[in-house]
A and B are shown apart, each in its own frame.
Chain A
Amino acid sequence: MAQIILDTLIGHFKSGEIIDTGSQHGNEWARVRRDAWLAVATFLRDDPATAMNMMSDLTAVDRFGHEPRFDVVMHLYSIDKKHRVRLYGGVPEEDPTIESVVSLWPAVNWFEREAFDLYGVRFKGHPDLRRILMYPEFVGHPLRKDYPKEKRQPLIRRQMGKAD
């Protein structure tokens, strides 16, 4: 169904930017090398065969125990061709950065902020990378698998004994 996207990608990127492709449960996906993230996304948006003009979703997955630890997952959709693709960008824990695609689709601004807030992945070139769901003084990145759910956060409880 969306095999044409994968074929176009493999045909265009010849120096190993596309690490792997596949199709599962009707979803076509491609694993992209981290430094080619913006280049591949730009190509997918501008090439007339793929024409992925809408960014559906961007999030991250914590593959705890695997290398690289985080996968930035982006779902792209083409309004005209009605096909979708999922892109994976592997991001290691020591250097959790990847390029921001906010220059291609303005919609991705808050999605990248959320991935930063909940996973700690930094997006290079993002105009306003700050927390979106958590309050600014929050410590840590909650959706990581090693985030201690039971531990208390600072600032969530009034100080006892102090006058209001």
Chain B
Amino acid sequence: MDQSIAPTSRRVVLGVSEPTDDALDAPDLPTEPMPLNMGPSHPAMHGTVRMVLDVEGEKITSADVQIGYLHRCFEKESESATWTQVFPYTDRLNYVSPMLNNVGYAIAVEKLLGIDKQIPERAQFIRVLVGEMSRVTDHLTCLGAGAMELGAFTVFLYMLKAREWFYELLEEVSGARLTHSYMRIGGVCDDLTEDFVPRLTDILKRTRVVLEDVSKLLDRNRIFRDRMDGIAIITREDAIAWGLTGPVGRSAGLAYDVRKDHPYLVYDRFDFDVPIGSVGDNFDRYACRVEEIKQSMRILEQAMEQLPGGPVVVKDPRITLPPKSETYNSIEAMIAHFKIIMDGIHVPPGEIYSFTEGGNGELGFYLVSDGTGRPWKCRVRPPCLPAVQIMMKLLPGLFLADVVPTFGMMNMIGGECDR
């Protein structure tokens, strides 16, 4: 080494008067803020979201969260579809809990039609059953994926194994694993399968075992707790001011659950609790979701016990398609079938904001009808949009590695956020 260069250059770079062994650790190495782009295609991002972060070393100084990469024009397309044709679009909103979107939209249209009190009881129970199953799959996906990103791959596989049992049963009932389109205006499309109740009872038993296993793996796991405790704390005032509902809002201490505060369908007949967090950090959001899965399973058991018989769709010739035996054998039924399909159901002019408890919080549907068979406006109030928005406030001050569990526990579903 050229002795004339080495000491001088090291002196300039390291800012110390003589080169020592400690100087090799470079304590005074200058840092400058660096823009870092996470996404939109990133393995730790649930769905497509882009975060432009300014980092100093590992600390984030500012975050710009950019959504819209999964915008598929739900509202614009709904304006050219009939009221029933919107159901497949609603499936693809929160695509891990599609039944809840279907239920929310169906209830909104039924309120506009004025038939929301005439939905048959069995249909309401079926809606609760499949809705709560969807809520369980939503939480299982969020927790499994969130744990996987922290390195707990076994937890991911256990939770997805449990999720598959639910999806299989929903596939038997509706015909598809995820894009059910099971609801219709006035009820549900078809009755449950015959062995639904024994199958679901067995699934719930096995899921409880899975939740036990996962709890043993994560709840007192040093690495998991260190990465989740105390990170990204949201206070109750913040939750209200930033419009957070659902598990994210409840983990911050905001006691608001649409099923309890404004009961719809037959939720007021079931005995269940709603977990409320106290700290509002990542671990609280995780714990709230685990507890909500257990409470949903309670609702499912009670609903299966109380499930009545009867029709599954309201019998109104202006709204429901006639049964196929009549359609193919009588001209009146065929014409009624034709009119309902081609024109759409004629919903009287009016507007409504109807809200249900989606997987992520208050899922609102704001519908504007002009009296024809097609919506004038069909707006979804996405429950995870405020949760992603508050990330812009939570991330500055955290380390880069904290982005992963924070974002995972917000449960941003791209389809719902961007619609």
In this assembly, does A133 line the interface, its C-beta being within 8 Å of a C-beta of chain B? yes
Judging by beta carbons under 8 Å apart, are A73 and B389 in contact? Answer: no
If A24-B352, A57-B353 touch, whether A110 touches B366 (CB-CB below 8 Å) is no
Judging by beta carbons under 8 Å apart, are B71 and A25 in contact? Answer: no
Q: How far is the CA of A118 from the CA of B256 in the complex (A)?
A: 30
CB A138 to nearest CB in B, in angstroms, measures 10
Judging by beta carbons under 8 Å apart, are A73 and B366 in contact? Answer: yes
Taking CB atoms, residues of chain A closer than 8 Å to B68 are: 131-135
If A59-B379, A106-B241, A142-B76 touch, whether A133 touches B71 (CB-CB below 8 Å) is yes
Q: Which of A58-96 contact B (CB under 8 A)?
A: 59, 61-62, 73, 75, 79, 82, 84, 86
Taking CB atoms, residues of chain A closer than 8 Å to B357 are: none
In this assembly, does A10 line the interface, its C-beta being within 8 Å of a C-beta of chain B? no
Judging by beta carbons under 8 Å apart, are B76 and A54 in contact? Answer: no
Judging by beta carbons under 8 Å apart, are B254 and A79 in contact? Answer: yes
Out of A25, A27, A53, A133, name the residue touching B418 (CB < 8 Å): A133
If A24-B350, A27-B352, A84-B353 touch, whether A142 touches B240 (CB-CB below 8 Å) is no
If A53-B240, A79-B240, A149-B76 touch, whether A25 touches B261 (CB-CB below 8 Å) is no
Taking CB atoms, residues of chain A closer than 8 Å to B114 are: 25
In this assembly, does A43 line the interface, its C-beta being within 8 Å of a C-beta of chain B? no
In this assembly, does B56 line the interface, its C-beta being within 8 Å of a C-beta of chain A? no
In this assembly, does B362 line the interface, its C-beta being within 8 Å of a C-beta of chain A? yes
Taking CB atoms, residues of chain B closer than 8 Å to A82 are: 261-262
Taking CB atoms, residues of chain B closer than 8 Å to A108 are: 243
Judging by beta carbons under 8 Å apart, are A106 and B242 in contact? Answer: yes
Judging by beta carbons under 8 Å apart, are A110 and B242 in contact? Answer: no
Out of A27, A56, A132, A134, name the residue touching B362 (CB < 8 Å): A56
Judging by beta carbons under 8 Å apart, are A107 and B241 in contact? Answer: yes
Chain A interface residue count, CB cutoff 8 Å, equals 35
Judging by beta carbons under 8 Å apart, are B364 and A75 in contact? Answer: yes
Taking CB atoms, residues of chain B closer than 8 Å to A110 are: 385-386, 389
In this assembly, does A161 line the interface, its C-beta being within 8 Å of a C-beta of chain B? no
Judging by beta carbons under 8 Å apart, are B351 and A54 in contact? Answer: no
Judging by beta carbons under 8 Å apart, are A27 and B76 in contact? Answer: no
Taking CB atoms, residues of chain B closer than 8 Å to A134 are: 68, 71
Q: Closest chain A residue to B68 by CB distance?
A: A133
In this assembly, does B381 line the interface, its C-beta being within 8 Å of a C-beta of chain A? yes
In this assembly, does B112 line the interface, its C-beta being within 8 Å of a C-beta of chain A? yes
In this assembly, does A154 line the interface, its C-beta being within 8 Å of a C-beta of chain B? no
Taking CB atoms, residues of chain A closer than 8 Å to B377 are: 61-62
In this assembly, does A38 line the interface, its C-beta being within 8 Å of a C-beta of chain B? no
Contact code string A7-50 (vs B, CB < 8 Å = 1, else 0): 00000000000000000111101000000000000000000000
If A27-B351, A57-B353 touch, whether A75 touches B366 (CB-CB below 8 Å) is yes
Q: How far is the CA of A57 from the CA of B418 in the complex (A)?
A: 15
In this assembly, does A55 line the interface, its C-beta being within 8 Å of a C-beta of chain B? yes
In this assembly, does B189 line the interface, its C-beta being within 8 Å of a C-beta of chain A? no
Q: How far is the CA of A107 from the CA of B111 in the complex (A)?
A: 27
Q: Which of A113-148 contact B (CB under 8 A)?
A: 118, 131-135, 142-143
CB A135 to nearest CB in B, in angstroms, measures 8
In this assembly, does B368 line the interface, its C-beta being within 8 Å of a C-beta of chain A? yes
Q: How far is the CA of A15 from the CA of B279 in the complex (A)?
A: 46
Contact code string B359-391 (vs A, CB < 8 Å = 1, else 0): 000101010100000001101010001100100
Q: How far is the CA of A147 from the CA of B111 in the complex (A)?
A: 30
Taking CB atoms, residues of chain A closer than 8 Å to B376 are: 61
With A57-B353, A132-B68 already in contact, 4 other A-B pairs whose C-beta atoms are closer than 8 Å: A54-B240, A61-B376, A82-B261, A111-B385
A-B contact pairs, 27 of them (CB 8 A): A24-B350, A27-B353, A53-B240, A53-B241, A54-B243, A56-B243, A56-B353, A56-B362, A56-B364, A57-B353, A57-B379, A61-B377, A75-B353, A75-B381, A79-B240, A79-B256, A84-B353, A105-B242, A106-B242, A107-B242, A107-B389, A111-B385, A132-B67, A133-B71, A142-B76, A143-B75, A143-B76
Question: Which residues does A use to contact B, with CB under 8 Å?
Answer: 24-27, 29, 53-57, 59, 61-62, 73, 75, 79, 82, 84, 86, 105-111, 118, 131-135, 142-143, 149
